[in-house]
Amino acid sequence: MPETGAGAMAGKTVLVMGIANRWSLAYAIAQALARQGAELVLTYQGERVKRSVEDLGAEWPATRVYPCDVSQDASVATFFEQLAGDLHGKPLAGVVHSIAFANKEDLERPFAATSRAGFALALDVSAYSLVAVARHAAPLMMEGGAIVTLTYLGATRVVTNYNVMGVAKAALEAEVRYLASELGPQGIRVNAISAGPIKTASARAIKDFSSILDHVAQRAPLRRVTDPAEVGDTAAFLLSDAGRGVTGDVIFVDSGYHILGI
C-alpha cells in the first residue's frame, strides 16, 4: 500500500465510531488518519469503554469523544445534534463505521438455529446502524466526503461459524451500494473494507480463532494475516482525496486470501 501522502487528511474532521480498545480496527484507522493530519471525533458504546476511548483519544490533538449507542435512535440523534453544535459550521469530511454485534451462541450453533431475536439484533447493530449514521452524517458533510465501513468475506462466501454475521455483512455491503448511489450526487462516497481475520477483542470471543488465523497465514498469497495498520492505511486512502474516484465498492485488505479457489 503506497502512502497517501503526508498530511493527506490535514484540515479534515473525521468521525470514527467503534473504538473499544487499542486492538479495535477503528483504533488502527484513527491512528492512520491522525498520522495524516486528520482532526478526530470518536464515539464509544457504553460506560464500560468510556475511559479507555477517552485515554486513547488523548493521544491525538483536538480529539472530541462522545457516547453513542447505535441501537438507540435517541442516542444517535442526540450525538449528531451535539456534534453539529460543536463543529460550529465546520464540515465533516469523513465517517468510519466499525461496529458489529451478534450473540456469541449465534456464532457457535448451526446457522439454522439462529433465533428471530438474535437475527434482529445482529442486523440492527451491524447493518441498520450504517443507514442511521449515514442519514445523520450527510447533512454535516457540506463539502462532500467519504463513509467507510468494515465487512468480512463471510458476507459472500460460507465461512464456518460466521453465520448470522455473514447475513448482516451481506446487508451491509448492499447498503454500501444503495447509499453510494443516493449520496454520490452530494459528493459523498461510501465504501467498505473487507478485512482478513484479525485478533481483536470481538474475535477473541470466537472459539478456535487462532486456528482460523493459522489457516489464513498458511494459504493467503502474502502468507501472513492482516495487520490492523494495513486496514488503517486503506481507510485513510478511501477517506482522502486519493480515493475520490472510488464509491460503492468493497476493497479487500486480507493478504489476498479472497482470490483463492481450492
* Nearest distance, CB of residue 197 and ligand 1JT, angstroms: 4
Residues 104-143 touching ligand 1JT, rule: CB under 6 A, are 107
Contacts of 182 (CB under 8 A, 6+ apart): none
Taking the alpha carbons at both ends of the chain, their separation in whole angstroms is 27
User: What x-and-dash track marks residues 71-110 binding ligand 1JT by CB under 6 A?
Assistant: -----------------------------xxx----x---
Indicate whether 62 belongs to the interface with ligand 1JT (CB under 6 A): no
Indicate whether 193 belongs to the interface with ligand 1JT (CB under 6 A): no
Residues that are catalytic: 152, 162
Produce one character per residue of 29-38: b if its CB has 16 or more CB atoms within 10 Å, e if not.
bbbbbbbbeb
99 near 122, Cβ under 8 Å? Answer: no
Residues 150-189 touching ligand 1JT, rule: CB under 6 A, are 152, 159, 161-162, 165
Q: Is 149 left (phi over 0), alpha (psi -120 to 50) or beta?
A: beta
* β partners of residue 42: 16, 65
User: What x-and-dash track marks residues 194-233 binding ligand 1JT by CB under 6 A?
Assistant: ---x----xx-xx-----x---------------------
96 near 17, Cβ under 8 Å? Answer: yes
Cell reading at 258 = 479472497
User: What x-and-dash track marks residues 11-50 binding ligand 1JT by CB under 6 A?
Assistant: ----------------------------------------
Binding region for ligand 1JT (CB under 6 A): 100-102, 107, 152, 159, 161-162, 165, 197, 202-203, 205-206, 212
